[in-house]
Amino acid sequence: MPIKHDAHKAAEFIQQQKPNFKPKVGIVLGSGLGALAELIQDKTVIPYEDLPGFPVSTISGHAGKLVLGYLNKVPVVCLQGRVHPYEGTSGEKIKTLIRTFKTLGCEIYLATNAAGSLRVEVAPGELVAITDHINFQPGNPLVGLNDDDFGSRFVSLDEAYDPILRKNLHKAAEKLNIDLHEGVYLATLGPVFETPAEIRAFRVLGADVVGMSTVPEVIVARHCDMRVVVISAITNLAAGMSTEILSHEGTLHYANLVSDKMCKLVSEFMEHLDNE
């Protein structure tokens, strides 16, 4: 018997609000980066509270709205704000978010996040295309019974971050004259920021940026056989690398400063999807 999942209920509700709409790209927007949703045209907006089984974000900078419409003529479904494991969000709820994308017909999962840089030359205000990740969050959203309707029991994460999509992202950045770095994302649980000693250790392990999100979503997206592309907006140098006292307010401040650049890049990237 198939495992029942809230994603099916959420997708059915969404389809009732915008009939015959099939998105190609599912987008998740990180802290302070919700402005991208304002660029979506012919949009339908649904609060998370109205969606069956959807978790509701408790963090400032995450609006908690699902937006359907067209971004540079590409049909998209966009989550204006995510939920995090440190909020107490279960792996089941994270599966609901991403599997709703899949159930609606999305082929690509695109995520943005706010992150700290472990490289001095990649300063606040810069953008990083993620090439791989290191998972320091406890648990895994796929633990438990497997739902074969979404994917097989065991999932390869080789090239989890699609190299062709990343190449197109660089093409978009070049056209806009935007510097786009590349790097490995290390995910911690949070909500505390990392210690300077941890950052030194993470650098030895090969991390370039650090944050508290995204990786559980990527795991679920790959289980669903969705192609993945992730962009980090650098909001600070990591702990011990500057005199700044890290805070969520600082994260939102610098995310807002880089938001315009992120919006232009993602919008331009959509134009390159038809040129693969």
Active site residue 253: no
Pick the catalytic residue: 168, 232, 236, 259? 236
Pick the catalytic residue: 248, 253, 267, 272? 248
Active site residue 247: no
Alpha-carbon dihedral sign for residues 10, 12, 16, 20: positive
Active site residue 156: no
The whole-angstrom separation of Cα 268 and Cα 167 is 13
| Residue 163 one-letter amino acid | P
The candidate with the shortest Cα–Cα distance to 239, out of 189, 186, 195, is 195
The candidate with the shortest Cα–Cα distance to 162, out of 95, 102, 111, is 111
Pick the catalytic residue: 10, 212, 239, 262? 212
The whole-angstrom separation of Cα 27 and Cα 80 is 8
Pick the catalytic residue: 35, 70, 87, 242? 87
Pick the catalytic residue: 5, 10, 31, 207? 31
Q: 91 and 141 in contact (C-beta within 8 Å)?
A: yes
Q: Give alpha helix (H) positions in the chain.
A: 6-17, 91-104, 163-176, 196-205, 215-223, 248-272
Please, which residues bridge with residue 26 across strands? 77, 109
Active site residue 254: no
Pick the catalytic residue: 86, 135, 140, 182? 86
Active site residue 60: no
Please, which residues bridge with residue 183 across strands? 130
Active site residue 109: no
Pick the catalytic residue: 10, 11, 37, 114? 114
Pick the catalytic residue: 113, 117, 168, 213? 213
The whole-angstrom separation of Cα 276 and Cα 84 is 32
The candidate with the shortest Cα–Cα distance to 268, out of 178, 162, 163, is 178
Active site residue 236: yes
The candidate with the shortest Cα–Cα distance to 48, out of 61, 62, 27, 32, is 62
Active site residue 226: no
Pick the catalytic residue: 5, 11, 57, 84? 84
Active site residue 212: yes
Active site residue 248: yes
Q: Which residues are catalytic?
A: 31, 62, 84, 86-87, 114, 212-213, 236, 248
